[in-house]
């Protein structure tokens, strides 16, 4: 045999074998794919037939008396806080007034006697007065 005849026989054999393999592959693919589609279709039908339970959450309707009571408590709390703030402001004013009087007193005492003790008391009283302002 010549080289060309051998080459031609090998090429034809390869082409024929590829055609046979493709035909077998297509057949296997369609058989397997068709059986999978049937199986999945049955599963899908089963899942569709299932129903999910419905959940209802009851929402209580608060009575208007509770709202009125809460509003009154909030008003009382607000009034208590305002009264406490007023008492604190009054206390601060009284403290500033007392420290001012002490500063003036010790300044006058230091002016009279000029001792180190009076100067120390004056410095302390006036420092407290300035810090409270």
Q: Is residue 30 part of a domain?
A: yes
DSSP state of 58: -
Q: Is residue 27 part of a domain?
A: yes
Residue 119 or 28, more confident: 119
Q: Is residue 110 part of a domain?
A: yes
Burial of 16 (0-12, 13-18, 19+ CB in 10 A): exposed
Q: Is residue 87 part of a domain?
A: yes
Whole-number CA gyration radius for the chain: 51
Could you give the number of structural domains in the chain? Answer: 2
pLDDT confidence of 48, banded at 50, 70, 90? low
Does the pTM of the predicted model rise above 0.85? no
Q: Is residue 102 part of a domain?
A: yes
Q: Is residue 39 part of a domain?
A: yes
Q: Do residues 118 and 106 lie in contact, with contact meaning Cβ atoms separated by under 8 Å?
A: yes
Which domain, by its residues, includes 5?
A: 1-44
Q: Is residue 98 part of a domain?
A: yes
Q: Give the tens place of pLDDT for each residue, 58-116.
A: 766 666 777 888 889 999 999 999 999 999 999 999 999 999 999 999 999 999 998 99
């Amino acid at each position: 045999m010549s080289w060309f005849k051998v080459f031609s026989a090998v090429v034809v054999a390869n082409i024929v074998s590829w055609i046979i393999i493709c035909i077998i592959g297509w057949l296997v693919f369609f058989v397997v794919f068709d059986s999978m589609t049937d199986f999945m279709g049955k599963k899908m039908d089963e899942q569709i037939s299932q129903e999910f339970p419905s959940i209802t959450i009851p929402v209580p309707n608060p009575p208007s008396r509770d709202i009125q009571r809460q509003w009154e408590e909030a008003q009382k709390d607000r009034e208590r806080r305002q009264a406490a703030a007023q008492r604190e402001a009054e206390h601060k004013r009284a403290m500033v007034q007392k420290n001012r009087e002490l500063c003036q007193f010790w300044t006058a005492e230091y002016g009279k006697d000029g001792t180190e003790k009076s100067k120390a008391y004056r410095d302390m009283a006036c420092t407290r007065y300035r810090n409270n302002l």
